[in-house]
């Protein structure tokens, strides 16, 4: 099962995080985080004992402050913690769950974040591989995680970001 969705109000994806309202906060957490827990609850009986693999998509803004990512960074941190708790819950049924922390890619959802073009240029310049990742590269890691090659991997956050997250300065 692939969980590849997130949402926050556009107003909450620019300016100061401190201004996030309660409704916007709850909306981002509900759509972007709780949805995974609920989907897992319903998928577990279907996947039980069948080598199930679940993947969600996260972003580096969960670990470090990224300008304008704001409430979504907080939601992604909660999403990554959920992956670990869900892995612990579902492991006994042979179900694995992991997150791919993807580098910045221009999509409908990411266009809602202010300063996307700057982020793309910055990552291209600063990442070890000197490029932005493609959806194909994220897809290849998803394929690995779904396959038997990853039979011993669960609860992990795997970065597919041209190495951007390892750079300190």
Ligand X SMILES: NC(=O)c1ccc[n+]([C@@H]2O[C@H](COP(=O)([O-])OP(=O)(O)OC[C@H]3O[C@@H](n4cnc5c(N)ncnc54)[C@H](O)[C@@H]3O)[C@@H](O)[C@H]2O)c1
Q: Is-catalytic flag, 17?
A: no
Paired with 100 in beta bridges are: 57, 158
Task: Give CA angle at 167 (163, 116), nearest 5°.
Answer: 70
Instruction: Return the number of the residue (107 or 151) whose C-beta is nearest ligand X.
Output: 107
Catalytic residue among 69, 85, 144, 164: 69
Cβ nearer to ligand X, comparing 94 with 109: 109
Q: Which is nearer to ligand X, 91 or 128 (CB)?
A: 128
Q: What share of the chain is helix, strand, coil (3-state, %, to 5)?
A: 55, 10, 35
Residue 2 in the binding site for ligand X (CB under 6 A): no
Binders of ligand X in range 31-60 (CB under 6 A)? 31, 57-59
Please say whether the beta carbons of 124 and 131 come within 8 A: yes
Q: How far is CA 88 from CA 15, 24, 85, 96, 97, in A?
A: 37, 30, 5, 9, 9
Residues 59-118 that bind ligand X (CB under 6 A): 59, 102, 104-105, 107-110
By CB under 6 A, name the binding residues for ligand X: 4-7, 31, 57-59, 102, 104-105, 107-110
- Residues noted as catalytic: 59, 69
């Amino acid at each position: 099962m692939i969980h590849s969705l997130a949402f926050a109000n556009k107003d909450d994806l620019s300016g100061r995080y401190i201004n996030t309202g309660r409704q916007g906060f709850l909306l981002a957490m509900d759509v972007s985080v709780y949805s995974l827990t609920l989907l897992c609850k319903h998928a577990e009986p279907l996947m039980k004992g069948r080598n199930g693999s679940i993947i969600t998509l996260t972003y580096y803004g969960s670990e470090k402050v990224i300008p304008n990512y704001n409430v979504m960074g907080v939601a992604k941190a909660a999403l990554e913690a959920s992956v670990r708790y869900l892995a612990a819950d579902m492991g006994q049924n042979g179900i694995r769950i992991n997150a791919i922390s993807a580098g910045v890619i221009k999509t409908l959802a990411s266009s809602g974040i202010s300063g996307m073009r700057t982020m793309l240029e910055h990552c291209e310049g600063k990442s070890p591989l000197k490029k932005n990742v493609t959806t194909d590269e994220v897809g290849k890691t998803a394929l690995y995680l779904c396959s038997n090659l990853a039979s011993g991997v669960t609860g992990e956050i795997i970065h597919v970001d041209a190495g951007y997250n390892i750079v300190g300065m």
